[in-house]
Structure formats: C-alpha cells, structure tokens
Structure 1
Amino acid sequence: MRDLIIIGSGPAGLTAAITAAEHGLDVLVLDEYHKPGGRLLGQLYEEPGGTWWNGIEESRKLAERAGVLGLDIRLGKSVHNIEQVNSSWLVHADCETFEAKSLLLATGAAEAPVAIPGWTLPGVMSVGAAQVMTNVHRVKPGKRGVIIGVNVLSSAIAMELKIADIEVAAIALPKTNQVNGSASNPTEVMNALLHVSHMAPSLFVKMGSKLMKNDFMKKMGITFYPKNGVRMWDIPVMLRKAVIRIEGTDQVEGVTLATVTADGKVIPGTEEVIGCDFVCIAGGLYPLAELAALTGCPFYHINELGGFVPLHSQDMRTPLDGLYVAGNITGIEGAKVAMSQGKTAALSIAKDLGQDIADTSLSEAVRQISSTRTDAHIQFHPEVDAGRRKLQEYWDLHDAEKRKVMV
C-alpha cells in the first residue's frame, strides 16, 4: 500500500508529489495524458517586467525534480472509479487497482462549451485545443481564425496564436441563447474584463478602463464601444458583435457576425460574413471534479470559483479522512496558485500521516497561497477572494456541525 496516490500530473499534482516525496512519503502519480504538466504545457505569456512564463519549460523543471526523487509517475492511465474501504483508498484505473492511505485529487479544469449553429463542422475546436496544437505540438490550427467568447482565457490564447504567426480575424461574443448566458451580454463581459485591463497592450483600453468606475460610465463605455472592436495585438476585440452562425459545408469557411445591443440582442440587418478556416470556442473553464463526486465529498456551487467545487479547508483537506484536493478542481486560478496549493496539500498529508511537519510550516504554506493569488498577473474570475471566503464559511459551518455530532 502506498502512502499517497495523486490523480493529475499538472502543476498542483507534480508540486504535491515532489513535496510529499521530499518528506519521505511513498507516492504514486496517475494521469491520463502521455506527458506530465497538464495545462502548463500550453501556457506562454509575458509577465510584468518583460519576463516570459513558458509552461513547457516549467513542466520540464518539475519533471526533472520528480525524476531526481525517483517518483513513480504512470501516464496514459484513466481513472474510472474511487472507493474508500476502511482506512484506505482504492483507485481503479483501466485494468489495475491501486491502494493508498491518502488520496489527492489534482484533476484540474475542463473547458465549457458555447452553443453556436455550425459548431459541429470540422475546423471548430475549443480555444484550449488550439493552444495545445500551437504551443505543444507546433501545428497551426489553420491560417485565419475567429475566436468566439471574450474572456481572459481567449485573450491570452489569441496573443499566443499571434506569436505563432496565425491570423486571428476577430474575438467576438457568442449568440445569445439559454446556454451561453452572461458570456453573450456585452455589459457583463466588459465588467468581467475590467479587472484584467492592465494586461491589455492597448493604451486606449488601459486608459478607458480607469474611467469606468461607476455604472453610468460603464453604460456609456459599452454604448459607445466601437462596432468594429478595439485592437489588441492587432486583433479586433468585439464586444458589440456576436457570431450568430458558423458557415461551411464540409469544413469551416467563415462566420456570420451581427451587431448587438448592450444587452446582447441582435440588431436585424447588421449581419455580415467574414472568412476563416478555423473557429475557436472559448466558454471559459470549470473545475473538473467528477472524481471527487465519486468519493461522496460535499460540493458547493460558487460562481466566483468557476462552478461546483468540493468542500475543503485552506490547508486543502476535505471532510473525508485521507482525501485532499489542490489546483483548479478547487476553483479556476493560475498555475502558480495551483503549485502553492499542491505544496500545501502535501504538507497536510505528510502531517496527517505522522511526519514531523511544524504547524508554522503549514501556516506559511497557506499564507503563500494567498500571497501568490494576490500577485497573480492573470485572474480568471474577478471575485475569486469573495469565492474563497464563501467556501471558508461553508467549511466553518460543516466543521461546527461535525463538532455538534461529536458532543
């Protein structure tokens, strides 16, 4: 029996595995992909000060540290069931079953869909798929593309496509329907983007965002937002145009755009077709938490964290003995926060298994998560701190109820 099984070899999982091994634990890492690194593998962006965050390089560094420690990392392993039997965890993966005293779920995030007529055509893909094709496999998804969905993720990947000499004709909103929700509302999208305006290379966007401090100015801003968009990295970002249909017979040939009102309603007679040979759908990310659901761990839906998240404490413990979580399964944030969470989870696990972990070391690790979050260059949700406070309230309530039962 292992001390610890970690599901997921992304930034949280690898960091946790390294930290746990350094504290003497016998660790097994499982991942369904054929390379370690998770979403790190596709990341490439410029940080403040002109330095670059290269996800492939960061993954390589983590993999090298894992190799030095002799960590057992099994790739190409899909987990389909988890059971808690007595005081151990059974992880069923393909034709094998693994057993451990503790289990860490670091399964990351998945991309949410955006429903658009024509989205089943060859050449339509998630924006994350385009990122992996370009940055990991060095294959261009096409020559000229359109991104549907204006958010932090689509903006960052559009820049990466531009670096790879791929033309992005436009980043536009999706058509309003029951599925797309607030992602198709220009006013709500603009509000969500204001907190990351510091990332924009456009001086117009940076200066304009500083003026939008109240609802009146925000309304004026979206009302007079240029119909043809504001260019960032020479890519038009369109908050007043939506893709109402993807065009093509056997493959993507273009998209139909239409001007929309401030609340996302199509203005009849404004339709126009622009040509492209691929389309990226950017519906945002949500926590990939299905495996946590198999364990019986309590869940809460917290919009500020991206969706349903398993209940957990600041030190990454769940209410179930021996079960821990780290990374985007706990809420959508960046790789650096995930790594801090992975380290904290490993220290909690080591302490619970009887290793000599000082309370001050664990407290410092928890504090590091918070400071890393505060300093993050990219934040996928503007109210992430409020989301974390909500989760802590749920944890405190659960803890209080548990103490009542024990009395």
Structure 2
Amino acid sequence: MIDVIVIGAGPAGLAGAIACADFGLKVTVIDEFIKPGGRLLGQLHQEPSGEWWNGIKASERLHQEAKKLSVDIHCGVSVYNLEKKDQLWNVYTSVGALEAPFVLMATGAAEYPIPLPGWTLPGVMSIGAAQVMTNVHRVQVGKKGMIIGANILAFAILNELQLAGITVERIVLPEKSALSQEAGEPEEVMKSLLNAAHLAPSPLLRIGGRFMKNDWVRKMGLNFYPKNGMKVNGTSLQLRKAALEIIGKDQVEGVRLVDIDANGNIVAGSETIYEADFVCIAGGLYPLAELAAVAGCPFQYVPELGGHVPHHSETMETPLKGLFVAGNITGIESGKIAMAQGTTAGLSIAKHAGKGLGKIDQQLQQAIQNIHTVRRQATIQFNPKIDRGRKKMYELWENLYSNNGFS
C-alpha cells in the first residue's frame, strides 16, 4: 500500500518525497512532464557569491536521493481528479487510480497569458517555454527576438537566453488593456522592477534604482525615459513602447510597436514595425492550484502571493485531512524555497503518520525556520511583499482552524 502520493516532481515534490521516505513511508511521485525536476530544469544563473546555480544538477541530486530511498517516480502521467473516500485519498490519473492516506500537492506555477493579435504564429512562446527549450532541450528559439512584458521573471530568463548566445534586441510592454492590466502601465512596471534594482548589471542602474523609489523622481524619470530605452546587458528595456501586434505570414516576422506616454496611453502616429523571428510573452506567474480546488480545498486571494492560494498552515497542512501543499502552489517564490517547503511538508506528513516520535517536532520547527532563512537570503523575490502575504495566510489559518484540531 502507498502511504503518500506526491503530485508534482519539481523541487517541492521531490524534497517532500525524500523527507517522507526518510521516515520509512512508502511514497509515489507522479508528474506530467517527461522527467523529474519541474522548473528547476530550466534554471541557470550566477549567485551573488559568484557560484553558479544549475537547476538541472540540483534536480539530478534530488532525483538520485529519492531513488536511494526507494521513492517510486512516474513521469508522463497526468492527474485529473482526486477525492476522499473513507480514510483514503483517491487520485485519478491518465494511467489509472491510486489511493493513499496522504497527498502532497506540489503542482507549482503557471504563466499568465497576455493575448494580442498574432500570438498564435509559430515563433511566439511564453518566456518559460523559451527557458525550457533553451536550457532543457537545447533548442535555439530564434536568432533575433523580442520580449513582450517587463518583469523579474523576464529578466531572469533573458540572462539565460543571452548565455546561450540568443539575441534579444528589446523588451517592451504589452498594450494597456483589461487583459494586460498593470503589465501595460509603465509606472507599475517600473515600481516592480525597482525591487530588483540591486541586481542591475551596472553601478549607474543600481544607484538610479534607489533614487527612483521616490514617487516624484519616478514620475519624472518616466516622463524623460529615453525613447530608445536603457541597455540591460545589451538588451534595450523600452518602457515607453508597447506591442500592438505580432506580424508574419507563416511564422513571426516582426512586431508592430507604438510609443506610449508615462501612463501607458498610445501616442498617435508613432507606429513602427521591428523585425524579429521569435517573440517571448512574459505575463508573470500564478499558483497552479486547480487540483486543490477539485479536491474541495478552500482558497484565499492573496495578491502578494501571486493570486488564489489554498488555505494552509506554516507546516503546509490544508483544512482537508491528509492533504498537504508545498512550493509555488502556496505562493510564487524560488526553487530553493520550494525545496525548503517540501521538506517541511514531508516532515509534517511523517508526524501525522505517527513517525519520528520524540524528535520530529524539533525537526519540523527547524524546517520552518529554514524556510525563513532561505527566504531572507533569496536573490530574487518575484513578489516583493511576500512576507506580508505569508502573514495574511497564517493569520487566516490561526483564526479559522487553530481551535479545530489543526496544527
């Protein structure tokens, strides 16, 4: 019999499986991708210490550790439903049904789409797809391209594309609309980017970023922002240009851009077509939590966490007995934090399974503290107010569930 079913073989899922298996629990991991690792597989960047973070190697280490502990991993398997029957969770997959008393949901995140005319042309992809094609499949996405959408995720992957020798000539905004929302507003985009100003490649940009946090200075900066943008590692960041349409007959041939004012409004008569053979759309990330909804888990909208997230405690427990969550399903953060959360969830499951008596409480508290430590040390925060979002969720948990037998 299976003790724990882990849905998602990314950093959170693998770390959680390892923590469970360490206490002798029989664990099965399922993932719809062709190999374990999740978003780790596409990550490649240099840490402030000068060391390189290679997601593929990190995922291989987790995979090998899980295999040593006899964790059963099945890739290329999709989950479409799960429900509680008596004391067991029934998980329905593309290869049949599984059942276990505990489920760890580590489904990760998905990208927000920003639709615009021409986005179905061959050569148009999400920024995450470009990352996977480049770093996982070793496929060159194009020779000269453009990113539509300026956010921290776009800049992290821009650097990886540049390391692979791929030319990204410019980053522009999507047209301001109900669909693009704040992604099409130059001031909102600048505010979000200023939270990562300390990572800018030049001292001038880093110093300027500190000054631009002042509202008046930021508005002045946008009004006088260079028409041709500012160079970031050779790529022009053009906050005063927006994409109206991706053009081409059988594939991407270019993008129709227009000048915009500091509020994102179109400047009449300013349309220009720029050549490109690929386009990446960067809409940002949101928690991939549909399966938790299918299971009947209650949700809360917490914008600081990236969207709607399932109710959960600091020990990664949900209000549904036997269902736990970890990683980006609980809020958008880095792979390292996902691993720390996965370990915490695994220890929490082991505790509920009656394992590790006498020592597991201390280990669980140490794991929670490790999440805080890793978060403080994080190079990039996808949502700068993540601590506020976490506090909201844990206060909600305390108010709703602390007197109902939950930890």
- Same fold per TM (> 0.5)? yes
Equivalent positions of 1:132-281 (< 5 A) are: 132-281=132-281
Q: 1: CA distance between counterparts of 2:224 and 2:402?
A: 51
C-alpha deviation, 1:130, in angstroms? 0.7
The secondary structure found in structure 1 opposite 2:196 is helix
2:388 aligned partner: 386
Given that 1:41 and 1:59 are in contact with CA atoms closer than 8 Å, whether structure 2 keeps it comes out as yes
2:378 aligned partner: 376
Given that 1:202 and 1:231 are in contact with CA atoms closer than 8 Å, whether structure 2 keeps it comes out as no
Q: 2: CA distance between counterparts of 1:313 and 1:221?
A: 42
Output the amino acid matched with 1:239.
L
Q: 1: CA distance between counterparts of 2:43 and 2:303?
A: 24
The secondary structure found in structure 2 opposite 1:25 is coil
Q: 1: CA distance between counterparts of 2:102 and 2:360?
A: 20
Q: Which among 349, 359, 364 is matched to residue 362 of structure 1?
A: 364
Given that 1:7 and 1:105 are in contact with CA atoms closer than 8 Å, whether structure 2 keeps it comes out as yes
The secondary structure found in structure 1 opposite 2:155 is helix
The secondary structure found in structure 2 opposite 1:119 is coil
C-alpha deviation, 1:202, in angstroms? 2.5
2:25 aligned partner: 25
Output the amino acid matched with 2:174.
P
C-alpha deviation, 1:87, in angstroms? 1.1
Q: 2: CA distance between counterparts of 1:95 and 1:16?
A: 23
Output the amino acid matched with 1:80.
Y
C-alpha deviation, 1:214, in angstroms? 2.1
2:113 aligned partner: 113
Larger deviation: 391-400 or 155-164? Answer: 391-400
In angstroms, what is the RMSD of aligned CA positions? 1.3
2:294 aligned partner: 294
The secondary structure found in structure 2 opposite 1:206 is helix
Q: 2: CA distance between counterparts of 1:33 and 1:358?
A: 33
Q: Deviations over 1:344-376 (max 9, x none)?
A: 000000000001243221111111111111110
TM-score normalised according to structure 1 size: 0.97
Q: Does 1:86 align with 2:78?
A: no
C-alpha deviation, 1:402, in angstroms? 4.1
Q: Deviations over 1:97-125 (max 9, x none)?
A: 11111000000001110121111111111
Given that 1:113 and 1:283 are in contact with CA atoms closer than 8 Å, whether structure 2 keeps it comes out as yes
Equivalent positions of 1:270-349 (< 5 A) are: 270-349=270-349
User: Percent identity between the aligned chains?
Assistant: 53
Output the amino acid matched with 1:14.
L
Output the amino acid matched with 2:33.
Y
Q: 2: CA distance between counterparts of 1:271 and 1:82?
A: 50
The secondary structure found in structure 2 opposite 1:191 is helix
The secondary structure found in structure 2 opposite 1:74 is strand
Given that 2:153 and 2:382 are in contact with CA atoms closer than 8 Å, whether structure 1 keeps it comes out as yes
Q: 1: CA distance between counterparts of 2:60 and 2:353?
A: 29
Given that 1:5 and 1:27 are in contact with CA atoms closer than 8 Å, whether structure 2 keeps it comes out as yes
Displaced runs of 4 or more, over 6 A:
none
C-alpha deviation, 1:381, in angstroms? 0.6
TM-score normalised according to structure 2 size: 0.97
Q: 2: CA distance between counterparts of 1:278 and 1:20?
A: 43
Q: 2: CA distance between counterparts of 1:95 and 1:122?
A: 32
Q: 2: CA distance between counterparts of 1:260 and 1:390?
A: 36
Output the amino acid matched with 1:296.
G
Output the amino acid matched with 1:66.
A
Q: Deviations over 1:119-174 (max 9, x none)?
A: 11111111111111111111101111100000011111111111111110111110
Given that 2:347 and 2:360 are in contact with CA atoms closer than 8 Å, whether structure 1 keeps it comes out as no
Q: 2: CA distance between counterparts of 1:221 and 1:402?
A: 53
C-alpha deviation, 1:401, in angstroms? 7.0
Q: 2: CA distance between counterparts of 1:24 and 1:152?
A: 40
C-alpha deviation, 1:213, in angstroms? 3.5
Q: Which structure 1 residue ranges, 5 or more long, are not aligned?
A: none
Q: Which structure 2 residue ranges, 5 or more long, are not aligned?
A: none
The secondary structure found in structure 2 opposite 1:176 is coil
